[in-house]
Amino acid sequence: MTLGEKIRQRRRELGLTQREVAGEDVTRNLICRIERGDCLPSLDTLQKIARALSVPVAYLLSEEDDFAAFAAWDALPAIRQNYAAGHYADCLSVIGKLPAEAVRDEVAYLAAVASLGLAERALKDGKLKSIPDHLDRAKEYAEKTVLPTDWLLARSELCRAVAKCPETPRWEIKRDEYLSHAEKAIGYNTYLYLSDDAGIVCDREAVKLHRQARDLIAKRSYREALSVLLSLEEMKSTGELDPYFLYRVYSDTETCCRELGDFEMAYRYSSKRVSLLREFRE
């Protein structure tokens, strides 16, 4: 896009006439000729045009066609610097001066995290009144980025609960919403399952059933454990059992069948387990 085309595009975006861009110091005819590409403006004229169009001269001289993208790119160093230093308000101040369409992806992500940072700082300082506004902004910015924000939304829910009722915040937590975001953010159900940490409550039904089966195996109640494991296998079609989970179910089912003397069934589940293991390594 040429300099003249960029001036025309930006002028039309703002709904300005050539006369309004020209102002008192530049003629409308000159603006017309510049837009057509018939002449190049002097630096002084270019500065006046840039002020009228609310853009930096650097944008008009750059190869970037999208002003919003240019504005975001130009502001990112200051945004990152303020964020890294923990100057969240300053970070948001820089972002607030950008055109709305420039606040997306990394800019929106940093704005969301900075807003959460202000909310958590207010929580730490006991200034709960300002927290809802910070969290509303964090959520609004989070919706404008393709970067992962589940961790942010989970922590936001904890802040929101305390701000709403500092006396009994636990009753204010939107439990299902928090757990959904937390699972996506950190995979805690996967951690609990891999670590066999029975000391932490897990809401995933499949995990609870498998824990129950393993407790029964530990008590040598193999028949009862087998019943639970077979019901677990039936959940395979729901998509709740990932391959590794299914591998462990097959292993425990094989153990129960062997202990019960059903070697044919034990062999069947051993084959299923080995088949899965082979797929893992392909």
In tens, the pLDDT along 212-249 reads 999 999 999 999 999 999 999 888 888 777 888 888 89
Residues 88 and 167 in one domain: yes
- Which residue is associated with the tokens 């094989």? 254
Residue 191 within any structural domain of the chain: no
Identity of the residue numbered 90: D
Identity of the residue numbered 185: A
Q: Tell me which of 44, 62, 80 is where a domain ends.
A: 62
Residue 239 within any structural domain of the chain: yes
Check: pTM over 0.75? Answer yes or no: no
Instruction: Tell me, letter by letter, the H, E, C secondary structure of 33-86.
Output: HHHHCCCCCCHHHHHHHHHHCCCCHHHHHCCCCCHHHHHHHHHHHHHHHHHHCC
Residues 210 and 243 in one domain: yes
d(CA 190, CA 207): 9
Kindly tell me if the per-residue pLDDT of 105 is higher than 90: yes
Q: Which candidate, 34, 35, 28, places its Cα nearest to that of 9? A: 35
In tens, the pLDDT along 174-187 reads 988 898 898 889 88
In tens, the pLDDT along 111-123 reads 999 999 999 999 9
Kindly tell me if the per-residue pLDDT of 189 is higher than 80: no
In tens, the pLDDT along 74-96 reads 899 999 999 999 999 999 999 99
d(CA 105, CA 69): 11
Residues 86 and 53 in one domain: no
Kindly tell me if the per-residue pLDDT of 65 is higher than 90: no
In tens, the pLDDT along 11-60 reads 898 899 999 988 888 898 998 998 888 888 888 888 888 888 887 787 78
Q: Tell me which of 42, 62, 82 is where a domain ends.
A: 62
Q: What is the reported pLDDT for 111?
A: 98
Q: What is the reported pLDDT for 200?
A: 64
Residue 12 within any structural domain of the chain: yes
Cβ-proximal residues to 233 (8 Å cutoff; 6+ apart), any chain: 241, 246, 249, 253
Q: What is the reported pLDDT for 43?
A: 84
What domain count does the chain have?
3
User: What CATH number should be reported for the domain holding residue 181?
Assistant: 1.25.40
Q: Which two tokens stand for residue 249?
A: 């179910």
Q: Across residues 103-111, what is the average pLDDT?
A: 96
Q: Are 246 and 276 in contact (CB under 8 A)?
A: yes
Residue 9: which domain range? 3-62
Integer angstrom CA distances of residue 180 from 174, 183, 204, 211:
10, 5, 11, 21
In tens, the pLDDT along 130-165 reads 999 999 999 999 999 999 999 999 999 999 999 999
Residues 24 and 84 in one domain: no
Q: What is the reported pLDDT for 201?
A: 67
Q: What is the reported pLDDT for 175?
A: 87
Cβ-proximal residues to 6 (8 Å cutoff; 6+ apart), any chain: 59, 60, 65
Q: Are 96 and 132 in contact (CB under 8 A)?
A: no
